[in-house]
A = this chain, B = another copy of it.
Amino acid sequence: MDKIKNYIKRHNLINKEDKIVIGFSGGPDSLYLMLVLLELRQEFSLSLAAVYINHQLLVEASRHEAFARRFCEEHGVPFYCYRKDIASYAAKERLSIEEAGRKFRYATFYHVLEKLHYDSIAVAHHRNDLAETVLYRMARGTGWKGMAGIRPKQNRILRPLLCMTKEEILKELMKRQQTYNVDPSNEDTVYARNQIRHKVIPELSRVNGQVTEHIADLAEQMEELGVYLTDQIQGAWSSCVICDGDKRRICMESCRKLPVFLQKEVLKRALAEVAGSERDLKRIHVEQLLKLMEAQSGREMDFPYQIRAVRQYDELVIGKREEPREEASIRLQEGSQWIGFAGGWMKVEIFPKKDEEFSEKMYTKTFDYDKIRNHAVVRTWQQDDYFVMNDKGQRKKLNRYFIDQKIPKDQRKKIPLVADEDHIIWIIGGRISGEYKVTGATKWVLQLTWTRMEE
């Protein structure tokens, strides 16, 4: 109890006469959170209210709800209960059950906060949650930002239990002989979270028993580091970026003066702001922008989300392309190209043929470079398109191919193609033309890799 009081004081989580809504499931974590706040209620003259959400996922749901309601009644805490069929909601919103639950939960918390004119929402995240979150993000791919922990106070959300491990919470409850709801879905390793909790952490614990504490400590340090970096990046951003409507204009002279790390973070942020999302913006895109900064004035480069970056005199201008390109020239030189077409991007490699075999994949194909007569473009289907079916040079109209493949009419214009005039080199995701195949006589190989952007 002293530990939590110190933590609350140190992070200034609670002030006199605060009105706090508690996210209350009656499970061990939120029950202990409730006990802590009940103990502080008089000292701080707190007003407390509980929000209970019945996710209707468990057979025990109504028993759990009754337990939570009774507990609050006994302790004189107003009890607000919301019922929601989370499974249907998740299906409707195309979210995982976990994501759907979280989304509805926080929406409800804020709703109650507004309705009651309360100050903040207390939730029961603890050190194990912190460590699990970090490992989960690492598995899915994350950078320094994702390594930062969950904050003890963010917006109007309080997390007073972040200083406690699950084990400590259970020990405290045992000491008080306090019963609580048990959610059997915690035992279900279908959820990624539970895979981390029940498989990864136990295996890591065999390397070091303190792993949860260690990762939680790391997350706290990364949180502090994140505060510092956010400031530094903001400073760097202000020093060299002008927001011009949807465009971001980067003064290259000022940008070059920054440490490389900050240059990259500024460029990443510029891309993300124009894109409206950080998704699919990868380190390689930032590297390409750095290269563009060293290129001649007038050079431009395309990126996901219809983004085009132009090196213009002393500025790098990052904005959306006016029109989504119907036809995009692939310059036949080694290097990556982003073709903002049909939501994908294309990598182009050209090299002398070697004796090794190429592993052909659905989205990586090799071609005989010298067979291309004009130049290759990415585009959609046009009336006269054809490809070569076999070694005899027999042609087939693309129209016919679509019909044979039973591709509906409205889909046909959405399939990206690589074409050499009317001759289709590659139906992306489908076959390649026989004429461009790599053979024993091939001298130069053109290798194309198509990556579909995730929506």
**CB of A224 within 8 A of chain B?**
yes
In the complex, the answer to whether B144 meets A214 with C-beta atoms within 8 Å is: no
A140 in contact with B208 given A2-B351, A200-B200, A259-B231 (CB within 8 Å): yes
**CB of A66 within 8 A of chain B?**
no
In the complex, the answer to whether B214 meets A141 with C-beta atoms within 8 Å is: yes
A residues 86-145 near B (Cβ < 8 Å) are 135-136, 138-144
In the complex, the answer to whether A261 meets B224 with C-beta atoms within 8 Å is: yes
In the complex, the answer to whether B147 meets A261 with C-beta atoms within 8 Å is: no
- A260–B232 Cα distance when bound, in Å, is 12
A227 — which chain B residues lie within 8 A by C-beta? 260-261
In the complex, the answer to whether A228 meets B138 with C-beta atoms within 8 Å is: no
In the complex, the answer to whether A208 meets B139 with C-beta atoms within 8 Å is: yes
A231 — which chain B residues lie within 8 A by C-beta? 259
In the complex, the answer to whether A144 meets B261 with C-beta atoms within 8 Å is: no
Which residue from B140, B214, B224, B225 sits with its C-beta under 8 Å from A142?
Answer: B214
- A215–B136 Cα distance when bound, in Å, is 11
**CB of A210 within 8 A of chain B?**
yes
Least CB distance, A89 to chain B, in whole angstroms: 24
How many copies are assembled?
2
A214 in contact with B283 given A2-B351, A228-B259 (CB within 8 Å): no
**CB of A211 within 8 A of chain B?**
yes
A140 — which chain B residues lie within 8 A by C-beta? 207-208, 214
Least CB distance, A381 to chain B, in whole angstroms: 33
| Most chain B beta carbons < 10 A, residue from A136, A138, A140, A356 | A138
A217 — which chain B residues lie within 8 A by C-beta? 141, 283
A218 in contact with B260 given A195-B206, A200-B200, A200-B203 (CB within 8 Å): no
**CB of A196 within 8 A of chain B?**
yes
A residues 188-231 near B (Cβ < 8 Å) are 192, 195-196, 199-200, 203-208, 210-211, 213-215, 217-218, 220-222, 224-225, 227-229, 231
Which residue from B139, B147, B222, B351 sits with its C-beta under 8 Å from A207?
Answer: B139
For A323-343 the 0/1 string (1 means CB < 8 A from B) is 000000000000000000000
Which residue from B206, B211, B221, B357 sits with its C-beta under 8 Å from A199?
Answer: B206
Chain B residue with Cβ nearest A356: B175
Chain B residue with Cβ nearest A136: B207
- A192–B204 Cα distance when bound, in Å, is 9
Which residue from B142, B214, B224, B357 sits with its C-beta under 8 Å from A139?
Answer: B214
Further pairs besides A139-B205, A141-B218, A227-B260: 4, Cβ < 8 Å: A139-B207, A139-B208, A147-B147, A195-B207
Q: Tell me the A residues contacting B by CB distance below 8 Å.
A: 2, 135-136, 138-144, 147, 175, 192, 195-196, 199-200, 203-208, 210-211, 213-215, 217-218, 220-222, 224-225, 227-229, 231-232, 259-262, 264, 283, 349, 351, 356-357
**Pairs of residues from A and B, 8 with the lowest C-beta to C-beta distance, nearest first:** A228-B261, A141-B214, A199-B203, A139-B207, A139-B208, A200-B203, A139-B211, A192-B207
Can you show 15 pairs from A to B with CB atoms below 8 A apart? Answer: A138-B211, A138-B215, A140-B207, A140-B208, A141-B208, A144-B221, A144-B225, A147-B147, A195-B203, A195-B206, A196-B207, A199-B203, A199-B206, A200-B207, A227-B260
